[in-house]
Amino acid sequence: MTKSISTNEYIRELHPSDIIEYEKMDTALTDDYLKNAFVPLTKTPSNQLFGLWSDERLEAIAGYTQFADFAMIGRLRTAVSARGKGYGKQILAHALSAALSVPEIRLVGSYTAKDNEPAKAVLRSLGLSIRETVYTCKIKQMLVNENATDSWTRVKSPSNYEAWIASSQNPPSTVTIEAYFPFPGENSQAFQVFSQQSVCYMHQQTGAQALFTFDEKDNDFLLLNVSDEGLVQDQQLWRLGLSLAKKHNRILRFDATDSTVHKIPSYVLDYTVAEPWLLFETRLG
C-alpha cells in the first residue's frame, strides 16, 4: 500500500529489491548494520520496513518488529541531503501507525540513546513516553572462581510472567527479549513466547529465577534476565552465567536499569557498560 504525501512524495512498504536504492542513501553512518540486515528484514513477516520517497529517491526509512502483542519501532534513517524537512518524523509516525493497526499489538516501544535529543523530541511528539533507562553490560570475567555451584538448579521455563516473578520481592521493570529489544516487565504473549525459547534456572533458597537466552546480533550473546532485581548481587548467578557463556562461546549480556546498574558487584570484572539508552512506550487502551 502506498500513502501519498504530496504530488511528488509518498510512503510505501520496502521490498528486498529496494536495497539498491537504500545503498545509494548517504546517511553519514560509518558502520550501518542495516545494509546487511535490509534484505532479511524485508523478507520476514514479523518485520516491516517503510520508505519515504521524494522525486523517486528514497529519502528516509523506518519500521517495526513484532513480538506477539509487543512491537518496537525504529531503524530510522534519513538521507543527509533530506534532513530538516520533517521526513524522519513522518516515516516514524507511519511505522507507529502501522504497528498499532495490527490487531494483536497492544504496546509499541522505541529505543534511543539518552543524549539523542532530536530522536527523543520526535518520539515525544508521537505520543511515546519514557519507561526506563537501560544500560547494556557485556560481562567477560570475574575476580573469583567462575565455576558454577549447586545453588542454582535448571527448571522448566515459566508459563507466563506472573509465574516467573511469583517468588520475587523486586520484579524487574524491563525484560530484554532480544539484544536491543527491552520491553516493559509485565504479563504478555511476547513474554510467554520468549520464556519458552529460554533456559531457566531457579535459586534453591529463594525460588527466584533467571532466564538465559541465546541471541545473535553484532555478537553472539547469552542474554540474562532476572525475576528479582536483588539477584544481580548473587555471586553464584554470575558464576553460572559466565560458565554457560564460556561453554557456548558467547558474551554474557545483561541490560541493567537505574535501579540495578550500580548493584553489580565489584568482583565482576572486565565488563563494559554502554551509554545509557531510553525505552519509550505507547499502548492501546
- The answer to whether 191 touches 161, Cβ cutoff 8 Å, is yes
Provide the number of structural domains found in the chain.
Answer: 2
117: amino acid identity, one letter:
E
Instruction: Quick: pLDDT tens for 227-266.
Output: 999 999 998 899 899 889 989 999 899 999 999 988 888 7
* C-alpha span between 73 and 112 (Å, rounded): 10
For residues 84 and 161, membership in a common domain is answered with no
pLDDT recorded at residue 220? 87
| C-alpha cell at position 214 | 541465546
Together in a domain, 182 and 240: yes
**Closest C-alpha to 76, from 21, 130, 32, 31:** 32
> Same domain, yes or no, for 140 and 228?
yes
100 and 148 housed in the same domain = no
Q: Nearest Cα to 147, choosing from 239, 38, 82, 262?
A: 239
Q: Residue 213: inside a domain, yes or no?
A: yes
Looking at residue 147, its pLDDT comes to 58
Among candidate residues 257, 260, 215, the one with its CA nearest the CA of residue 234: 260
Q: Is residue 210 a contact partner of residue 152, using CB atoms and an 8 Å limit?
A: yes
18 against 139, higher pLDDT: 18
Q: Report the interhelical angle of 117-125 vs 87-100 (nearest 10°).
A: 50
The predicted pLDDT at position 271 comes to: 63
Q: How do residues 58-112 score in pLDDT, each as one tens digit? A: 999 999 999 999 999 999 999 999 999 999 999 999 999 999 999 999 999 999 9
Q: What residues make up the domain containing 91?
A: 2-105
Residue 24 has a pLDDT of 93
Is 124 among the domain residues?
Answer: no
pLDDT above 60: residue 146: no
pLDDT at 269 over 60: no
Residues 62 and 155 in one domain: no
Q: For residue 74, which phi and psi values (nearest 5 degrees)?
A: 165, -145
**Residue 30 — pLDDT band, cuts 50, 70, 90?**
confident
Please tell me the least confidently modeled range out of 18-22, 103-107, 133-137, 265-269: 265-269
CA distances from 113 to 5, 27, 90, 125, 211 (A): 29, 17, 20, 17, 26
Residue 125 covered by a domain: no
Polymer length in residues for the chain: 285
Position 270 scores a pLDDT of: 57
Instruction: Output the CA angle 162-163-169, nearest 5 degrees.
Output: 70
- Give me the sign of the Cα torsion angle 233, 253, 144, 167: positive
Q: Check if the beta carbon of residue 230 is closer than 8 Å to that of residue 169.
A: yes
For residue 171, which amino acid is it? P
pLDDT at 285 over 70: no
Mean model confidence pLDDT for the chain: 90
Is residue 152 located within the same domain as residue 74?
no
Distance CA 147, CA 133 (A): 32
Whether residue 83 is contained in a domain is answered as yes
> What would the mean pLDDT of 113-124 be, rounded to a whole number?
91
Is residue 198 assigned to a domain?
A: yes
pLDDT at res. 5: 85
Q: Which pLDDT band, with edges at 50, 70 and 90, does 142 fall under? A: low
Give the model's pLDDT for residue 163. Answer: 94
pLDDT at 170: 94
| Of 275 and 185, the one with more pLDDT | 185
Based on the fold, state whether residues 154 and 263 are members of the same structural domain. yes
What is the dihedral angle through the alpha carbons of 80, 29, 113, 115, rounded to the nearest 10 degrees? -60
User: Tell me, what's the pLDDT at 252?
Assistant: 92
Q: 105-109, 234-238, 267-271, 279-283 — which is least confidently predicted?
A: 267-271
Write down the pLDDT at residue 118: 86
* Residues 226 and 95 both lie in one domain: no
Q: 260 and 153: one domain? A: yes
Instruction: Assign residue 75 the CATH number of its domain.
Output: 3.40.630.30
Same domain as 216, residue 92: no
**Interval 205-235: pLDDT, tens:** 999 999 999 997 767 899 999 999 999 999 8
Specify the pLDDT at position 253: 92
pTM of the model: 0.89
Q: Are 180 and 234 in contact, with CB atoms under 8 Å apart?
A: no
Please tell me whether residues 28 and 149 are part of one structural domain: no
Same domain for 88 and 152: no
> Given this model, what pLDDT does residue 239 score?
87
Q: Is residue 55 part of a domain?
A: yes
